[in-house]
Chains A and B, each alone.
Chain A
Amino acid sequence: MKAVKILERMLATIPIMFGVAIIVFFFIRLTPGDPVDIMLGRSAAATQREIEQLRQQFHLDEPLHVQLGYFLGDVLRGNLGYSYIRNKPVVELLTERLPATIEMTIGALLISLIIALPIGILSAVRQNSLLDRVSMAGAFLGISMPGFWLGIILILFFAVRLQVLPAQGRLSYDVHLQEITGMYVLDSLLTGNWRALEDSLKHLLLPSITLGAGVAAIIARVLRSSMLEVLRSDYIKLARAKGASEWGVVMKHALRNALIPTVTVVGLQVGVLLGGNMIVETVFSWPGLGRLVVDAIFNRDFPLIQGAVMIYAITFVLTNLVVDILYTYLNPKITL
């Protein structure tokens, strides 16, 4: 029953994706700049004939609605076009870069949860204690620090001064790894390559902290305030009156209910993480989707931008689907 509902919800994302595709298509074409100019460079060598040829090849000479028709038809066939600049199919470029970005996003999400869950719970249970004040001040800092700044500071301290963690990339040059999924931590686990596991984790740590810090701060604050509210409720009083231990009251009765608003925020923050990737990937020279997109935007690489934005949108929609499913487990009043 539940599986059917989940499948229904997944099918319902298809029209959403179509909407996203259409919006992205038009927005990109609204931006100034001609891709053909950039492709040919500003050299005067290109003749009018060559320019016309390229325009025809990419259907840029046709009216917008015809271009849209080509684009949507291609999307349906799983073909996201051909990158003007990199001379490679967009799908190939995306699948090459996506694992690195997913890996960093998961890393950042895990780090932010590891930091935020205990802090959120403890600062609510010990409201107004020193711990509460210090961690909420810390959370304020976490929200305020821009990612590029935090990234550079972390590199300066851990990579340059202490020299304990690498400053850039995903793997050291002398470490070899057989790629399966493209997510290096997972691949080293799958192939039992412990050296690569340690090395890839080390490379992952600083970018994940940089990306996760702001999200951790927000999750901690939301969890704290919903815990505070829940801890005042009657059913917490009843749990205590039953003789439940403080641990049982907090971790079972309170946390379960306080997680409901928190999960919503975590779901929305995944969008923030995806956006933050672009900056953090640049700071740490992380070969992920973010840097690819930034380059694509500067180069007016329409197909690549379209493809990447579609990937972001799918990720975001799927994340929210996961959030909705989690909801039904946390809150029995909600069904899919």
Chain B
Amino acid sequence: MTDTLLELKNLTTVFPTRRGLVHAVADVSLSLAHGELLGVVGESGCGKSVTMLSVLRLISAPGRIASGQILFQGRDVLKLSNREMRDIRGRDIAMVFQDPLTSLNPAFPVGEQIRESLRIHHIAHNHFAREKDRVLQLMTEVGISSPTDRYRDYPHQFSGGMQQRALIAIALACEPKILLADEPTTSLDVTIQAQIMDLMRRINDARGTAIVLVTHNLDLAAEFCQRIAVMYAGRIVEIGATDQVVESPQHPYTRGLLTCIPRIAAQRTRIEPIPGNVPDLANVPRGCAFADRCSLAQPICQQELVPFCEVAPGHKVRCLRVNDAGGAT
């Protein structure tokens, strides 16, 4: 793929804890093309946020990236100096965090926080009036009404939805090539959620910004993304085009996630919860981490590392029982 913008190769991020080394991200490989919409789906603690923070090298100590490569436009981000890394953060790759209230600094006006992104990367040559014009334009673009009045307002004077818009404005300020959106709508109510997703889609259309949407909501990802990666216990277990993953899920975990989504149109069926719990990340079994909760599991599943198996072009699954599983549904 020549069109690849960002590529993760066998990324492993670990956190030493009292109970042992936690592999929050284990051997993750992903690629993102220019202007692509990629969904990363999984339940809390599966390593999706840590993967995103790893891309920006924002893992806080004692956590560290243990191995792997992160190639941004062909350059390995992990080999850059701190100075070079800072130039990439915010300017080329920007991030939108989950909780807008705690992500905005309570001590500074929102407008100033947006302007800071421009100032850091010298977007308007540190020219105050031009920076401010650009901020007002950004605020309008993300749907903050009467930006001139709101420029000097503080985060606590904004509603949740408006705070999230402000965060998106901060992320968009330098027109990044990639937007990493970490659960951008989780703390918002459903109508606001739809508006924010709409806004992100428009940004993707208008500017060709590639977006990685990190969410625990498979439905949301299916609606928004072109490709979906499903993560479980630090590993990607299934990846493919949205249609492939949603229409013919191959991994038992993906299938479990899909049956968890309530549907109004469908007949009245019980929602099937996935039995059991997520394994302790300090103590992940050698084999398939999902085997304990999987109805199709066999002794061999627990014993050896499960390789990817390409079931269709671009559709890859980490499951030994792919063929049997296909037959079972």
Contact = CB atoms under 8 A, between A and B. Distances in A.
A240 interface: yes
Contact of B103 (A237, A244, A331, A332): A237
A234 B107 contact: no
A333 B120 contact: no
Contacts of B107: 253, 256-257, 330-332
Interface string A223-266: 00000000011110111111111101000010011000000000
Band of interface residues on B:
20 to 34
A158 B319 CA distance: 77
Contacts of B88: 243
B22 interface: no
Nearest to B153: A332
Nearest to A329: B107
Contacts of A242: 89-90, 94, 116-117, 120, 170
B102 interface: yes
Contacts of B303: none
B81 to A, nearest CB: 13
B60 to A, nearest CB: 8
B89 A243 contact: yes
Contacts of B120: 242-245, 248
Contact of B102 (A235, A245, A246, A332): A235
Given A234-B97, A234-B99, A333-B156, A241 B89 contact: yes
Contacts of B95: 238, 241
B91 A243 contact: yes
B153 to A, nearest CB: 9
Nearest to B180: A241
A197 to B, nearest CB: 38
B158 to A, nearest CB: 12
A241 B93 CA distance: 9
A244 B116 contact: yes
A243 B103 contact: no
B86 interface: yes
Contacts of B56: 240-241
Interface residues of A, number: 22
B154 A333 contact: yes
Nearest to A240: B58
B172 to A, nearest CB: 12
A234 B102 contact: yes
Contact of A331 (B58, B104, B106, B117): B106
Nearest to B91: A243
Contacts of B102: 233-235
Interface string B99-138: 1001111111100000011001100000000000000000
B219 interface: no
Given A234-B99, A238-B170, A332-B156, A243 B105 contact: no
B243 interface: no
B87 interface: yes
A240 B89 contact: yes
B221 to A, nearest CB: 22
A233 B90 CA distance: 18
Contacts of A330: 107
Contacts of A235: 102-106
Interface in A184-218: none
B66 to A, nearest CB: 21
Given A238-B97, A253-B105, A243 B58 contact: no
**Residue among A233, A244, A248 having the largest count of chain B Cβ atoms under 10 Å:** A244
Nearest to A235: B105
A261 to B, nearest CB: 13
A241 B170 CA distance: 10
A238 B87 contact: no
Interface string B57-85: 01010000000000000000000001000
A256 B109 CA distance: 13
Nearest to B58: A240
**Interface centre among A238, A245, A253, by most B CB within 10 Å?**
A238
16 contacts: A237-B97, A238-B95, A238-B97, A241-B94, A241-B95, A242-B89, A242-B120, A242-B170, A243-B86, A243-B88, A243-B117, A245-B120, A246-B82, A253-B105, A330-B107, A332-B106
Interface of B: 53, 56, 58, 60, 82, 86-91, 94-95, 97, 99, 102-109, 116-117, 120-121, 154, 156, 167, 170
Given A242-B120, A332-B154, 7 more contacts: A232-B60, A233-B102, A239-B116, A240-B58, A243-B117, A246-B82, A256-B105
In the A-B complex, the 7 residue pairs with the closest CB atoms: A243-B90, A243-B89, A242-B90, A234-B102, A235-B105, A332-B154, A234-B103
